[in-house]
């Protein structure tokens, strides 16, 4: 079973516990101060999802941004976040590949340090502790300040998994952490010391946490940690046969807290260790009234009559053993009923009642546990790490199945939209194409080109006549006609005056046209430029229309094809998802049955002991002298 880093923390309670979960959940970019503004809108969108813990939309947005090449700035940051999100989503292998690739490509020491940190985390969670330690050693000093707690936590956990307690002790002793995290560090230091055989020093640190009364000592989390420290301390003292120390620590555990039952059990044992069986009766009596599901309560059912027996209260002892036997038998019946319910496939529906709360919400949801054969076992089942992992996968698959159903509906809608668009376009296409044909823009452009060439020639040849006004052209035509007549009778004496006048008039006309030529040329060229612009705009508009018409036609076919492909992928994935859902459900049932079986074994063992002790009590009673108390 694969493990996710978050889930193991949820499942296991305090190491650095819940606080770290929050830090890790927003791990890659979390910071005490607000981050710099997103320089790419796409990255801003990713953060908007990410900070709301909408992990799948955040992953999707990153993948889309990468596909569309939307990042100009946040590439490495995005890779780190994506790796963290994949981890959260249970995709350890993919996350690992991302961090390894970052280490290959990035030269930024901070990015590299963060990538090493996450790789160490993945390796630790996968059970590769030596490799995790090697990755931790590569982090160096580049890790941002906000990672200090997480780094210490991870390193300590790795060292303790490797049973290198001395190194864990050195690490935890030298760490100075902010706020409540220092209490966690001392707590874990105490545990490490005890494991390393330095019980005396370990007890000292557990005691320090157990009596902590700092400003934040009233919070639920620190109270739970204190309870846990006092409980561990109490049992450690019991092992060291320090009865007073044990009693003192166990008495500090809150009666309404989650560790109360085990504390009450230990308190009774502490009294019996001191030989005070009467004193042991008090905590054990309280305990027997509690939920018989609790292992400590089950043990107290035996411990209480044992204490009576030590006090020679044979009748109460016998009565107590009978109560115990009755209690164990009832519990066996309940366990069997729960197993039947699991086999009947009721487990996941019972769990679904509590869904959407996440592991942290379970304790607060206990009041809402369904009143069924299975209901009372849901919380203890969820406390198991493997079960939690399996259920998380189950829920992810359920969510995936729902999303695929939504996509299936959307794809149908897309297809309808595309059909409608195709029909609309088919209706418009002939008209649009016809309007393009009648504009004769090409003819106009050709004419303009000819005109431009003509203007060039006029300028080059200073062809003043070419720019003559209509009146001048008329005049010139008349003069040309007159000139033709005069030319028919060259040198005629009667026409000599006319020839002179004709020459003067012609000269005058030419002079006028020549004078006006520069201005006329300028005007003509200006008009020509305006025409050129107008024609260019028209050409552009026509290109747009053409592009739009063509794009409309061309875009539809590949879109339809993509919808078809997506349709197939949705169907395939739905099939696989449903198969996996069934398999995951079977795995959950197997895990639940194993846990119920384990409990059954324990209760049966208690039952055997209770029956044996009851028989022994009867045996003793049969041998009591007359006048002595009989059971």
**Of 80, 143, 160, 521, the one binding another protein by CB under 8 A:** 160
Q: Of 103-111, 338-346, 498-506, 583-591, which part binds another protein (CB under 8 A)?
A: 583-591
**Of 32, 37, 176, 431, the one binding another protein by CB under 8 A:** 37
- Does the footprint of another protein cover residue 127 (CB under 8 A)? yes
Decide whether 228 or 476 has the Cβ nearer to another protein.
228
Q: Rounded to the nearest whole angstrom, what is the least distance from the CB of residue 440 to another protein in the complex?
A: 25
For residue 470, which phi and psi values (nearest 5 degrees)? -65, -40
Site size toward another protein (CB under 8 A) is: 114
Q: How far apart are CA 287 and CA 375, in angstroms?
A: 22
Decide whether 297 or 468 has the Cβ nearer to another protein.
297
Annotate 532-579 with DSSP letters as a single string: HHHHHHHHHHHHHHHHHHHHHHHHHHHHHHHHHHHHHHHHHHHHHHHH
Please, which residues have CB within 8 angstroms of residue 584's CB and are 6 or more apart in sequence? Answer: 390, 393, 394, 397
**Of 91, 524, 535, 593, the one binding another protein by CB under 8 A:** 91
Name which of residues 12 to 31 contact another protein (CB under 8 A): 12-17
Longest dimension (CA), the chain: 188
x/- map, 417-456, another protein, by CB under 8 A: xx--------------------------------------
- Does the footprint of another protein cover residue 318 (CB under 8 A)? no
Decide whether 282 or 485 has the Cβ nearer to another protein.
282
Decide whether 477 or 536 has the Cβ nearer to another protein.
536
Please, which residues have CB within 8 angstroms of residue 211's CB and are 6 or more apart in sequence? Answer: 226, 252
Name which of residues 463 to 522 contact another protein (CB under 8 A): none
Decide whether 288 or 476 has the Cβ nearer to another protein.
288
**Of 125, 207, 331, 595, the one binding another protein by CB under 8 A:** 125
Q: How far apart are CA 100 and CA 115, in angstroms?
A: 7
**Of 148, 516, 563, 630, the one binding another protein by CB under 8 A:** 563
3-state class percentages of the chain: helix first, strand second, coil last, to nearest 5: 80, 0, 20
Name which of residues 592 to 611 contact another protein (CB under 8 A): 609
Q: How far apart are CA 208 and CA 72, in angstroms?
A: 51
- Does the footprint of another protein cover residue 49 (CB under 8 A)? yes
Name which of residues 100 to 119 contact another protein (CB under 8 A): none
Q: Rounded to the nearest whole angstrom, what is the least distance from the CB of residue 29 to another protein in the complex?
A: 8
Handedness of CA 362, 366, 369, 373 (dihedral sign): positive
**Of 90, 245, 314, 631, the one binding another protein by CB under 8 A:** 90
Q: How far apart are CA 569 and CA 573, in angstroms?
A: 6
| Residues constituting the chain | 631
Q: Rounded to the nearest whole angstrom, what is the least distance from the CB of residue 71 to another protein in the complex?
A: 13
**Of 3, 121, 252, 599, the one binding another protein by CB under 8 A:** 3
Work out the burial of residue 370: count CB atoms within 10 Å of its CB; fewer than 13 is exposed, 13-18 middle, 19 or more buried: middle
- Does the footprint of another protein cover residue 83 (CB under 8 A)? no
User: Within 13 Å, how many C-alpha atoms sit on residue 111's CB side?
Assistant: 20
Q: Rounded to the nearest whole angstrom, what is the least distance from the CB of residue 323 to another protein in the complex?
A: 15
**Of 115, 172, 303, 318, the one binding another protein by CB under 8 A:** 303
Closest by CA position to 2, among listed 158, 123, 153, 163: 123
- Does the footprint of another protein cover residue 175 (CB under 8 A)? no
Q: Rounded to the nearest whole angstrom, what is the least distance from the CB of residue 151 to another protein in the complex?
A: 15
**Of 150, 232, 260, 347, the one binding another protein by CB under 8 A:** 232
Q: How far apart are CA 77 and CA 66, in angstroms?
A: 13
- Does the footprint of another protein cover residue 157 (CB under 8 A)? yes
Decide whether 473 or 562 has the Cβ nearer to another protein.
562
- Does the footprint of another protein cover residue 238 (CB under 8 A)? yes
Computed over its alpha carbons, how large is the radius of gyration of the chain?
45
- Does the footprint of another protein cover residue 236 (CB under 8 A)? yes
Q: How far apart are CA 297 and CA 288, in angstroms?
A: 6
Q: Rounded to the nearest whole angstrom, what is the least distance from the CB of residue 241 to another protein in the complex?
A: 8
CA-CA distances (angstroms) from residue 250 to 227, 237, 260, 405? 8, 10, 9, 54
Name which of residues 354 to 413 contact another protein (CB under 8 A): 385-386, 389, 393, 396-397, 400, 403-404, 407, 410-411
Q: How far apart are CA 553 and CA 461, in angstroms?
A: 51
Q: Rounded to the nearest whole angstrom, what is the least distance from the CB of residue 200 to another protein in the complex?
A: 15
Intra-chain end-to-end CA distance of the chain, in Å = 53
């Amino acid at each position: 079973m694969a493990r996710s880093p978050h889930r193991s923390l949820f499942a296991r309670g305090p190491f650095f516990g819940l606080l770290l979960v929050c830090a890790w959940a927003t791990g890659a970019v979390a910071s005490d101060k607000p981050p710099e503004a997103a320089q790419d809108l796409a990255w801003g969108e990713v953060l908007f999802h990410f900070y709301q813990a909408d992990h799948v939309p955040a992953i999707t947005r990153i993948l889309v941004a990468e596909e569309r090449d939307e990042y100009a700035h946040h590439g490495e940051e995005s890779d780190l976040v994506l790796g963290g999100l994949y981890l959260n989503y249970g995709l350890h292998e993919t996350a690992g590949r991302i961090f390894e690739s970052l280490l290959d490509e990035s030269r930024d020491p901070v990015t590299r340090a963060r990538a090493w940190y996450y790789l160490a985390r993945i390796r630790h969670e996968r059970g590769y502790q030596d490799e995790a330690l090697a990755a931790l050693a590569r982090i160096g000093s580049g890790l941002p300040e906000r990672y200090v707690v997480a780094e210490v936590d991870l390193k300590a956990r790795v060292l303790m998994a490797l049973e290198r307690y001395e190194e864990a002790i050195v690490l935890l002793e030298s760490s100075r952490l902010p706020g409540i995290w220092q209490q966690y560090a001392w707590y874990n230091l105490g545990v490490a010391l005890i494991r390393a055989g330095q019980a005396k020093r370990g007890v000292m640190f557990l005691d320090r946490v157990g009596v902590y009364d700092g400003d934040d000592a009233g919070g639920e989390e620190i109270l739970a940690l204190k309870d846990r420290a006092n409980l561990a301390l109490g049992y450690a003292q019991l092992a060291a046969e320090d009865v007073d120390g044990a009693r003192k620590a166990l008495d500090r555990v809150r009666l309404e807290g989650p560790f109360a039952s085990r504390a009450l059990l230990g308190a009774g044992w502490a009294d019996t260790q001191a030989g005070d069986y009467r004193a042991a009766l008090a905590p054990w009596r309280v305990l027997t009234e509690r939920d018989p599901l609790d292992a400590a309560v089950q043990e107290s059912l035996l411990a209480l009559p044992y204490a009576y027996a030590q006090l020679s209260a044979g009748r109460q002892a016998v009565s107590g053993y009978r109560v115990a036997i009755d209690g164990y038998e009832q519990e066996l019946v309940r366990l069997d009923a729960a197993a039947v319910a699991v086999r009947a496939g009721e487990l996941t529906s019972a769990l679904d009642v509590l869904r959407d709360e996440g592991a942290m919400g379970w304790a607060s949801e206990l009041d809402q546990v369904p009143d069924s054969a299975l209901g009372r076992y849901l919380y203890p089942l969820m406390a198991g790490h493997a079960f939690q992992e399996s259920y998380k996968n189950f829920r992810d698959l359920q969510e995936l199945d729902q999303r695929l159903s939504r996509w299936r509906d959307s794809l149908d809608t897309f297809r309808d939209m595309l059909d409608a668009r195709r029909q609309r376009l088919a209706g418009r296409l002939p008209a649009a194409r016809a309007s393009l044909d009648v504009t004769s823009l090409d003819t106009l452009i050709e004419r303009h080109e000819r005109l431009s060439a003509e203007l060039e020639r006029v300028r080059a040849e200073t062809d003043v006549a070419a720019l003559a006004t209509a009146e001048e052209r008329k005049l010139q035509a008349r003069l040309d006609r007159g000139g033709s007549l005069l030319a028919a009778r060259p040198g005629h004496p009667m026409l000599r005056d006319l020839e002179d006048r004709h020459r003067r008039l012609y000269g005058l006309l030419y002079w006028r046209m020549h004078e006006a030529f520069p201005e006329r040329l300028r005007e003509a060229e200006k008009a020509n430029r305006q025409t050129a612009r107008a024609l260019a705009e028209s050409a552009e508009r026509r290109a747009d229309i053409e592009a739009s018409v063509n794009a409309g036609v061309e875009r539809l076919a590949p879109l339809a094809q993509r919808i078809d492909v997506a349709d197939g992928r949705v169907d395939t994935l739905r099939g696989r998802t449903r198969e996996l859902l069934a398999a995951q459900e079977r795995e959950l049932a197997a895990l639940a049955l194993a846990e119920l079986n384990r409990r059954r074994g324990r209760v049966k063992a208690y039952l055997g002991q209770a029956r044996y002790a009851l028989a022994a009590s009867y045996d003793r009673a049969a041998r009591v002298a007359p006048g002595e108390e009989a059971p």
